[in-house]
Structure 1
Amino acid sequence: MHKDLAGLEAPGCDLPQTRRGHERRLALLLSANALFLERGFDAVSLDDIVHHAGGSKASIYKYFGNKVGLFTAICDYRREIFLEGICVPFKPGKDQLKGYLTSTLITFSRHITDPEHIAFMRLVIEQSQKNPEVALYLHEQGPKRIQQAIASALSRTAEQGQIVCPDPMYSAMMYFGILRNFEWQIIMGLQQQFSEQEIIEYIQYCVERFLDGHRQI
Structure 2
Amino acid sequence: MNEDLAQIEMTRCDYPQTKRGYERRLALLISANDLFLERGYDAVSLDDIVNHAGGSKASIYKYFGNKEGLFTSICDYRRDLFFKDVCIPFNPVQNELRPYLITTLITFYKHMIMPENIAFIRLIFERSQKDPQLALYIHEKGPKQVQLAIAKALESCAGKQLLKCDNPLYSAQFYFGILRNLEWRILMGIHIQETDQEIFDCVSYCVDRFLDGHQKV
TM-score by length of 2: 0.92
Give the SS at the match of 1:65.
coil
Give the SS at the match of 1:163.
coil
Q: Which runs of 4+ in 1 moved over 4 A?
A: none
- Structure 2 CA distance for aligned equivalents of residues 142 and 20 of structure 1: 29
Deviation at 1:18, TM superposition (A): 3.8
Deviation at 1:19, TM superposition (A): 4.0
- Structure 2 CA distance for aligned equivalents of residues 166 and 23 of structure 1: 47
Mapping for residues 56-95 of structure 1, pairs under 5 Å: 56-95=56-95
Size of the aligned set, in residue pairs, is: 209
Deviation at 1:23, TM superposition (A): 3.1
Q: Which residue of structure 2 aligns with residue 133 of structure 1?
A: 133
- Contact 1:10 1:64 (8 Å CA) reproduced: no
- Structure 2 CA distance for aligned equivalents of residues 12 and 104 of structure 1: 31
Mapping for residues 174-193 of structure 1, pairs under 5 Å: 174-193=174-193
TM-score by length of 1: 0.92
Mapping for residues 1-217 of structure 1, pairs under 5 Å: 12-217=12-217
Give the SS at the match of 2:101.
helix
Q: Structure 1 pair 213/30, CA: closer, same or farther in 2 (3 Å)?
A: same
- Contact 1:10 1:73 (8 Å CA) reproduced: no
Which runs of 5 or more residues in structure 1 are unaligned? Answer: 1-8
- Contact 1:28 1:60 (8 Å CA) reproduced: yes
Q: Which amino acid aligns with 2:122?
A: R
- Contact 2:31 2:49 (8 Å CA) reproduced: yes
Q: Which residue of structure 1 aligns with residue 3 of structure 2?
A: none
- Contact 1:35 1:49 (8 Å CA) reproduced: yes
- Contact 1:155 1:165 (8 Å CA) reproduced: yes
